[in-house]
Amino acid sequence: MTDKESMQDNRNHASDHERTSSERGASEPGRADRRRRVVITGLGVKTPAGCDLKTFTKTIFAGMPTAAPATRFDTTGLPSKIACQVDDFDPGRYMSGKELRRTDRTAQLGFAAAMDAVADAGQPSADHGRAGIVSGVALGGMQSICDQALVAHTKGGAAISPMSVPKILFNAPGALISQELAWRGPNITIATACASGSDAIGMGARYVQDGTADVILAGACDSGGVTLVIIGAFGHSGGLSTRNDDPAHACRPFDADRDGYIMGEGAAYLVLEERDRALARGAHMYGEVIGYASGCDAHHITAPQPQGRWTSQLMMAAISDAGLVPDDIRQVNCHATGTPLGDAAEAAALRAVFADRQPPVTSCKGVFGHLVAASGAAEAAVAALSARDGLVPPTAGHERLGADCHGIDVVAGEPRRVAPGPALSNSFGLGGQNASIVLAPPPQD
């Protein structure tokens, strides 16, 4: 299939989805008015780009890469020896010594980011039965699993710690958060690989939209990517950049010389609140979640569908869910990790959706690496700020557009001013797990 035929095929699939959505009433005028509106009233981040919102924002919009040599383990024999680590994080500021001993770093990052988000939202009071948590986790307590496997191998089964169980549970972050806040509403953990963060925000917004909850703390956390086993596995599979002598320029989203991504760790949580409730309490609003779609390539366990056929349909579904058309989208925060196959497939999907009116696009992974489950949540925070301020952050590491990514408008070098308006944020994960969300500036009505 030629590139031209692929684009037309993608457009046909996107058009088919539009017709199907319309027939279901998904893009009917006024649909959004029939469901409760969801605003973002708090943001909390613990990432390589910063552990507070001010530092995080400054680093992202300056396009400052954070990759450096991995320091937590011996990198001898690894193809990739670099990572994006959260080096300035002190979990002791948020948890007691007892809690620290019972938790993996993934849960510690998530708990801290969630507490910051709640504080940033002004400690929203609510009926605790109508306040909930939706967390995304992909690699979970990987370091704790590795540690105990080593203990069992060297010291025998008698030495295995009983604290291993709470450390490796995927729902540990959500459980810790709910116990701290006494929130008894939905407490869901989503594991859709690299799409987990976006799915968590989209599902959290659904709970508020349909009236199940009034407040949802939605986000994701992951530290398992910065472990010997995972960096070794992804490195030997050819997925990671091997520019060990130049970490700052190793990850190159959409670039002609891209050779893979950089593993990272982190967490980001957003407080999602019903709009009228937020207005009534005078809450500060960062933006609004107006569209969401989730789907699967059903193609391959690690590789994307090459022509981006189903990801283009997914983006159209999210845009339709927001009651918009592609021309309404002012910018796209891409999943683009810097891999040859993944970036090319996303570029193909962008061409199919936006045709000759391509919005400016960016990728945050050149700054903070691939945070696995947490990527989509951190990128959603960036997209919300970008939509509000009309400013697209530069794609760190990008210098020359790859021929296989032709036709898209990548922002690089410095931020670009655009009119404030809806932003699309994409997350595409292993196993073909994909999610897109649409974020808009704070409502004026």
Q: What is the set of active-site residues? A: 194, 335, 370
Cα–Cα distance measured from residue 42 to residue 217, given in angstroms and rounded to the nearest whole number: 9
Q: Per the structure block, which two tokens stand in for 285?
A: 């609003």
Residue pair 175/193 in contact (Cβ under 8 Å)? The answer is no
Burial label, 251 (beta-carbon count in 10 A; 0-12, 13-18, 19+)? buried
Which residues share a beta bridge with 40? 272, 287
Q: Produce one character per residue of 387-406: b if its CB has 16 or more CB atoms within 10 Å, e if not.
A: bbbbbbbbbbbbeebbebbe
Per-residue DSSP letters for 3-48?
A: HHHHHHHHHHHHHHHHHHHHHHTTT-TTGGGGS--EEEEEEEEEBT
Q: How far is CA 141 from the centre of its chain?
A: 19
3-state secondary structure of 369: coil
Residue with tokens 């080593």: 150
Closest CA to 254 of 353, 339, 375: 339
Three-class secondary structure of residue 332 per DSSP: strand
